[in-house]
Each structure stands twice: as C-alpha cells, then as structure tokens.
Structure 1
Amino acid sequence: MAGGEAAVAWILGALRRELGAANLGEEDLEIVVERDRVWGSLWTVTAQGRRFWFKRPHACLRREVQLRRVLSARAPGELLSTVAACAETGWQLTADQGPVLAQRAREDGPSHYVELARSLARVQKSLTAADVAELRNIGLPVFETGDAVARLDEQLGWFSGLPAGHPAQCTVAERERAIEGMSVVVERWAVDARMLEGVVPELSVDHNDLHGGNAFVTAEGVRLSDWGDTVLAHPFASLRALLVPVRNVFETEAMEQIRGAYLAEWGLGEDVGDVLDLAMMLAVPQRLSCWSALADADAWAEYAEYIAPLWREIGTPVAEVEVP
C-alpha cells in the first residue's frame, strides 16, 4: 500500500459520508490489497461490518470517472453505482456486490451473460450524438471502422519496436500480414455494413473489456462495471471480449444465445450476424490499445500470450480465436 496515505484519507472521508459516521477513524478500517497490477490496484475496505471495493487505476484509465458520469445519466439502471469517485485521480469506491457475474454463471448457467449483452446494448443505444461528442472531448480514444488499417499499424508500432526475443515483439512479416488481413476485413465491412445504416450508429461506446469479471448480478438485474478501457468505436465490437471467454466455458450454443439477445435489443436478427462478426474482427486495434496505453514492456512480456495472438489471428472468426 506504498504511497497510499492520500487514498486512505479519501476513502475515510467517503465512508464517513456514506455511513453517517463522522467519528470514523483510520483505525476503524480494515484494508486489504487484493490486486496490484500495472493497470491499477484493487483494495477491499471493511468498516462497521460493511465491505467496499476501492480502485486506484493507472493514469491512462482515470477518464473512467467522467465516462461513467455520462453513461449513468443516460442509462442509470445499467451501471454499477459508485459510493464515491474522483475525476482527478480516477479513484472509485463501490459497495461489495458479492461474486462477479462469471462466478454466478458457472453456478447458474449462461443466462446471466444473455442479460449482460442486453444491458450493454441498452447503454450503447441510449447515447446521443451530443454524448458521443462529449466523450470525445474528455479524451476517449476513437477507433472508426474506416480507419482500422491505419489504427492497427499505429498500435503495432509499439510492439514492432521491441527487441528481438521479446515475447510480445511483432516482426516485420507479422506486421505486413496483419495489415493485409485487416485491409480485407475493412473492404468486406464497407459493403456488408450498409444494412446497419439508420439502425446502429457508427460510433458508440465499446466497453473493450466486457467479460464476466466486470459485471455483477444484483437483485435489480445485471450491472456493468470497469469501463476504464472504453473507446468510441462501432458498438458491436464490444462483444469480442465477451464471447470468447463464454465459448471457453459454455461452448458455442451459449455464444449464439448471447449474440441473438444482443442483436434483438437493437431490433435486429441473425441476418446481420456476419456484420457482427466483422465488427468484432475490426476490434483488434482497440484491444491492442488496452496494452499499448500502459507503455510498459515488462508488462507486455508478462502478458504476451494475450497480446501477440491479436495480430496473428486477424481475419479469424471470433468463434475460433484464442484470445478476446
């Protein structure tokens, strides 16, 4: 918990307000560092018999607080509520919600993921053009489908510059194959995506890390959390990070149920399934941006098994890829 004195003081102030306990002191808090990774720290804080979660993110993820303000205003029933949040530091404090959705789904079945997909679509549909403009202004990265080749090349530049032997190095040959493969996907998208015109916006929020560990099942329904990696992109791209882990646990049938529920929330059917697949293939640049934003070669080495396949599998249907 090195350097955490300011965070503890902030937590204490937030809990005094939340619990109505003006005399609450630091000695009344039980704080445990649950995870401390390059993208941030996660603590549990117990006070007066109640448990809370504190998130201290990497600097590149601080904009989540401002993003959540916009999303909560449009879709207040879909996001996990915060007890307190600080836009300057990105700190967030939330009340404990019990097991994450992934754990609940292992016990109850994949229906929770179906509701998660529907909830995501409702959030994405709720945003106006003015909201998207505001999110641009707060610094959300933009990944437009027509720019996918250029954005991919930009992202691969981070990994091409790594020394030979680094497990996340992108070789010259790999970079060329990846660019060629993405060019083919973009060409297909330009034709096939016309059927979405007037129904699905080209830009909305792409959660960019939506999986069962970033959502909860509450008495009121599924609640989405952890929006730090969110970008502005085609909304369909969000399903990439969701469907691959589901496939690994529940296999293909569950994937199809989730896809169908998501599309139905948009008023669409499986006749646009191929377009959904293309959007998920186009998500590679923003998936890579989750890692490049950290600018940490040691972290890239540690997590290379989740990074390098992203460019090596470009053009592969999401139902067959190794990593989301």
Structure 2
Amino acid sequence: MRPWGRASTRHRRPRCCPDPCAQHRQRNLPKRAELRQDGREPKEPPMSVPHATPAYSELVASEVWRQEATEWIEDTVGRLGYRVRGPLTQPRIRPWSTQLVVPTDHGTVWFKAAGEPMRFEPGLQRLLARLLPDLVASPLAVDTARGWMLTADHGPLLADDAAAAGDDLREVVRVTARAQRALVEHRDALLATGMPDCSPSTIPERFDQLLDALAALPPDLPSHLEPSEADRFRARRAELVDACAAMAESDFPTTFQHGDLHLKNAYRAGGATRLFDFGDAQWAAAVEVLAVPHAIVSGDPDGPSWSSLVADYLAAWDLDHTTFGIAWNASHFTHAVNRAFTWWRCLQSATDDEWRQWGDAPLAHLREMMRP
C-alpha cells in the first residue's frame, strides 16, 4: 500500500510541484471510520434518486408540464413588474434539466428547471448570492420544491471571447479559490440546500455502491461494469482509502466545489467575473475544483500553463506546492469517484436513448482513478 505522503510515478503530479517525498514522512493514516472531522460515522451516500415516470426529458417536453411552467413564469415575472413580450422557447432538454427563454419588456429572462438530482441548484444559487454577492448573481425568483428558478440574462460568456480565454481562465481560477476559502465556514448552510456531501469520508462507501450499481446495468448500456474490471477497481480500493485519508489530513479543507468550472459557466458584469450553473456542485476536497481547468489546459498547447493555474490557485490559500502536490495526487482518486457519482445521478431518469448518448460518462470518469 502506497503512503500518500510520497509521490509515485504511477500518478501524475503537476510539473510545478516538487516531489513531496523529500519533506513528508509516512503518515499514520486514519481508518475509514475515523475520517469524518466531526467525529461521526460516514453517512451512506445515496446512489439513486426516485425513478420518474415518464422520464424527465419526456415530462418537460409535455404540454401539461409546459403549461404549468408557463403559468408560473408569467405569474412570477408579473409580480416582478415585468411583462412577457413573446412566445417562450425551449432551446435545450437534457435528462437532468431544461431551460425556457422568456422575452420580457425588461430583457431576456431565463427559466431553468432542474431534475431531482439537481433540484438543490436554485436554493444553492440563492444562498451563494447572499454569501458571495460579487461572484454570484441572485436569481430573480426560485421555487425550491420544484427546482425552478428565473435569472436575468448574463450577456456574453467568457467563452465567447477566444482571444482572452487564457487570461479569463486564470481569473476564473483565482476568484473560485477565493470563494472556496470564504465558504469553508458555511458547510451546514450549503448542505442544507441539498447539495451533495462528497467529502473524503463519504467516498469509500460511494465507490463500493458505484461498482455495484454499474455492474447491475444491462450489458447493452454504456457504463456496464464487467466482473473482471470490477475486480481491478476493487484491487485499488486500499489506495482510494489512503487518498481519502490524505485529503482529510490536508491543509486544503473541504469546501464548495463548483463541479464544472470552465468559461462557458462564467461571465463578466460590472467589471467582475461571475459564475453560474451550479447543478454539479458538491461539498468536497477543495483542489477537486481544478480537474476541469486541468483538462482544458492539457488539451490546449496555446492556453495558459498548468503551473500558472496552480500558482493562481495557491495564491488564495497561502499554501505551498508540496502541500498542493499531495492533495492533487489524491484527487485523482477522490474526484474520479465524485464525478462518476454526479453523472450516475444525472442519468437516473434518462431514457434508453439518453443512456446510450451520455451513459458512458459514469464509468469513464471512474476509470480516471486507474490511469497511470
């Protein structure tokens, strides 16, 4: 079993991070039941949500649902003092959410309906706007019971300006790191919205449940887990537990994790960078938020360097590269499980065709923990 206080050539470490072996001795890692910082036993993470009939995408495409949503939208914008000025359009339907575009005399308003796995998003955005008003815009209205919200149009996204993409991504990383640090003390309030608790202590149980759930999928669906591959995953479980223990001991805390941090989920308002789209958010190890930015710069030789993103991120935490290197190595295990969990939940109300379109994601993300 490899101690997480040491580097391994089997796990990629950012080039900017020195080998932590030189400065860190082997740790006495806590047992799995000792990982919770609050002293309680780890909770069993839910691996499914109630199956909807019809499927969520079929529900939100129905005339009955559209009429109900339209009535709520018209009543709500009316109470805001707005008037609808044209037909509502539905540009996108996914197994986990849908949007309606609402033209009003105060400009375009966006209606978002989140399915069961992401129903926490409206309440979460409302809370984040209260805690971080310079980073998150407050929704115009929310219905937390139904997972509905109205937001003002943000205008151009940061992704729309390709020439500034490198600088913008660095700024997104900087503001996100500062936000994470500010939100460390708000765990209970954030989890009360329904945002999943994916902290390190919850991951081993979630891993076990994922393996069972994927193995139970019909063989003709993507992400079906064959017994031989399941055995290979289980052979790495001890390393996963060690990674969770390393995260629990890290000077990087658990905090808000956006879950899908890229330039299509950011915009600029009043000279400030703002974030939105919080349906993938989790309470998790802080450094997991860098997984998507890392994938972006790894695939873009003309973009910012990984070392520059790490430096931007560390500036908000006042922690060194060695501490980051240990946490980042561990995150290859922890984030793989947590991201697979997000996708699994998103597909609980998917049709067979939707499973075939997106269903490879749970197993593909879980396999990240097996990469050399």
The interval holding the TM-score normalised by the smaller chain is: 0.7 to 0.9
Aligned partner of 2:295 in structure 1 is 244
Given the alignment of the two structures, is residue 86 of structure 1 paired with residue 143 of structure 2, yes or no? yes
Contact preservation (8 Å) 1:117, 1:261: yes
Distance in 2 separating the partners of 1:185 and 1:251: 34
Structure number with the bigger relative contact order (C-alpha 8 A, sep ≥ 6) is 2
Which amino acid in structure 1 is aligned with residue 271 of structure 2?
A: E
Given the alignment of the two structures, is residue 107 of structure 1 paired with residue 188 of structure 2, yes or no? no
Structure 2: gaps (5+ residues): 1-60
Cα–Cα, structure 1 residues 259 and 185, in superposed 2: closer, same or farther, change >3 Å? Answer: farther
Aligned partner of 1:291 in structure 2 is 343
Give 1:253 deviation, angstroms: 4.3
Give 1:35 deviation, angstroms: 0.5
Residue 256 of structure 2, aligned match among 191, 205, 210: 205
Contact preservation (8 Å) 2:140, 2:152: yes
Given the alignment of the two structures, is residue 46 of structure 1 paired with residue 103 of structure 2, yes or no? yes
Between Structure 1 and Structure 2, which shows a larger proportion of helix residues?
Answer: 1
Residue 168 of structure 1, aligned match among 223, 239, 248: 223
Give 1:96 deviation, angstroms: 1.6
Distance in 2 separating the partners of 1:263 and 1:16: 46
Residue 4 of structure 1, aligned match among 66, 75, 79: 66
Give percent identity, aligned residues only.
25
Residue 264 of structure 1, aligned match among 293, 305, 315: 315
Give 1:17 deviation, angstroms: 4.0
Residue 15 of structure 1, aligned match among 69, 77, 96: 77
Larger Rg: 2
Cα–Cα, structure 1 residues 226 and 191, in superposed 2: closer, same or farther, change >3 Å? Answer: closer
Q: How many residues align?
A: 306
Contact preservation (8 Å) 1:78, 1:224: yes
Give 1:218 deviation, angstroms: 2.6
Query: More displaced, 174-183 or 256-265?
Result: 174-183
Cα–Cα, structure 1 residues 290 and 93, in superposed 2: closer, same or farther, change >3 Å? Answer: same
Aligned partner of 1:127 in structure 2 is 183
Give 1:85 deviation, angstroms: 1.8
Alpha-carbon displacement from aligned partner over 1:120-170 (angstroms, at most 9, x marks no partner): 2222211254x2123333433222324433211212322111122322211
Distance in 2 separating the partners of 1:107 and 1:285: 34
Cα–Cα, structure 1 residues 253 and 186, in superposed 2: closer, same or farther, change >3 Å? Answer: farther
Contact preservation (8 Å) 2:243, 2:333: no
Give 1:223 deviation, angstroms: 0.9
Contact preservation (8 Å) 1:43, 1:55: yes
Distance in 2 separating the partners of 1:183 and 1:169: 23
- Please state whether the residue corresponding to 1:282 is helix, strand or coil: helix
Normalising to structure 1: TM-score of the pair?
Answer: 0.84
RMSD over equivalenced CA pairs, Å:
2.5
